[in-house]
Amino acid sequence: MSDQIFDPSYECALRLDKQDELSSFRDEFYIKEGTIYLDGNSLGLLSRRAEKSLLDVLESWKQFGINGWMEGKYPWFYLSERLGKMTAPLIGALPEEVIVTGSTTVNIHQVVATFYEPKGKRTKILADELTFPTDIYALQSQLKLKGYDPEEHLVRVKSRDGRILEEEDMISAMTDEIALILLPSVLYRSGQILDMKRLTEEAHKRHILIGFDCCHSIGSIPHAFDEWGVDFAVWCNYKYLNAGPGSVAGLYINKKHFNRTPGLTGWFGSRKDKQFDMEHTLTPAENAGAFQLGTPHLLSIAPLIGSLEIFADAGIDRLRQKSLQLTRYMMFLISHELGKYGFTVGNPLEDHRRGGHIFLEHEEAARICKALKANGVIPDFRAPNGIRLAPVPLYNTYEDVWNAVRIIREIMETDQYKKFENTRDVVA
């Protein structure tokens, strides 16, 4: 959609909101009065349906006690599989290829322990220098467990500008020394979408297994993992999927790998009919469920039930289209209103390369973020100079975007940001 539909007037924002076919979903969420919440790429807001599903699971504990494993509205024994089935359309996978389990970091350890099999000269893992630190920590740990020095055996593709990665550089790094590749689907700072289809094709041409950390893409953009042939993926459910702080994460295992014994095993990875046989020989589930470890954290998984129901109603393709228009509109207003204040747009401008957030760079970014919060706008600071702004299509409006940019302009015009120290808070 062309920027020609935009103009800088407040009336334009109201007109766009009136045309928004997804506007009713905003009423599903708890939004603090007087605030503009633009940090859904860090932690999504609570919805009424997520609240209800959490209360439903609490009620099943209250009413059934241990019988809640097989009774009630959401029998706990099969809940991870049920939620995997509900998640599958968001990533383009079969229901049996998806399981809700663990945390992002635990699941990275799981997939690397499973798929990293160094042989001969293929001993290295390929990642990138812009990825979220936990991915690197986990990869370093797994290399050490296999007896390899991470300084030599963890290859990190360099960024040419410190913001984005070039697929050509990643493909060039896919040498015959690489045994496994783990990359982000969307870069957490700049919001760049990597070409997962192309990277998967190139990795497989070289007989390298490849997977993606989808924390910043799940619930924000459509995926087609089965079509692309991706080997595995991990993600959290508390950002765009709005399942709550510390919610249980997700894991995708392509069906072609169901015959592999997971690198890490635990009793909840058992085949369901064998799980309570209490044998000391594991009979793994014949699907992604085999990659579970321990008992699901029921009260941290329950809000996802309601959250995924909302996504089923809204549709990921419609959400993506609104997300793109919201970020286009925000970039248009930034260009029109903030041009003289020293901001740089650090995210890709092209639709096919831009995820769900805008990345503004400014030397006073930490101060500006504090001033925004003082004015009721909730952003996200990323060191050293980044401001992430995520207009989430389920609950943000074009009026939110218009007001947020207006407030940034006022902060800069009146030097409000100078009242604050240019240092990050403990939780940025």
Share above pLDDT 90 across residues of the chain, in percent, rounded to a whole number: 97
CATH 3.90.1150.10 domain locations along the chain:
3-30+316-419
Q: What is the pTM of this model?
A: 0.97
Rounded average pLDDT over 341-353: 97
Please, which pLDDT band fits residue 422 given cuts at 50, 70 and 90? Answer: confident
CATH 3.40.640.10 domain locations along the chain:
51-313
pLDDT at 234 over 80: yes
pLDDT at 221 over 80: yes
Cα 157 versus chain centre, distance = 21
pLDDT at 288 over 90: yes
The string of pLDDT tens digits covering residues 40-74 is 999 999 999 999 999 999 999 999 999 999 999 99
DSSP H or E stretch at residue 88: helix 79-91
Rounded average pLDDT over 223-229: 98
Please, which pLDDT band fits residue 101 given cuts at 50, 70 and 90? Answer: very high
pLDDT at 202 over 60: yes
pLDDT value of position 48: 98
pLDDT value of position 425: 83
The CATH code for residues 3-30+316-419 is 3.90.1150.10
Average pLDDT, the chain: 97
pLDDT at 426 over 80: no
Phi/psi at 181 (5° precision)? -130, 130
- Per the annotation, binding residues are 104-105, 132-135, 213, 216, 238, 267, 295
Please, which pLDDT band fits residue 5 given cuts at 50, 70 and 90? Answer: confident
Please, which pLDDT band fits residue 424 given cuts at 50, 70 and 90? Answer: confident
Class at the top of the CATH hierarchy for domain 51-313: alpha beta
pLDDT value of position 3: 65
- Per the annotation, binding residues for pyridoxal 5'-phosphate are 104-105, 132-135, 213, 216, 238, 267, 295
Strands 250-253 and 98-100: antiparallel
CA distances (Å), origin 278, targets 65, 79, 82: 22, 21, 24
Rounded average pLDDT over 163-170: 98
The string of pLDDT tens digits covering residues 77-94 is 999 999 999 999 999 999
Please, which pLDDT band fits residue 35 given cuts at 50, 70 and 90? Answer: very high
Q: DSSP states of 320-336 as a string?
A: HHHHHHHHHHHHHHHHH
Give residue 321's identity as a one-letter amino acid code: Q
Rounded average pLDDT over 112-117: 98
CA 135, CA 123: separation in Å to the nearest integer? 18
pLDDT value of position 2: 56
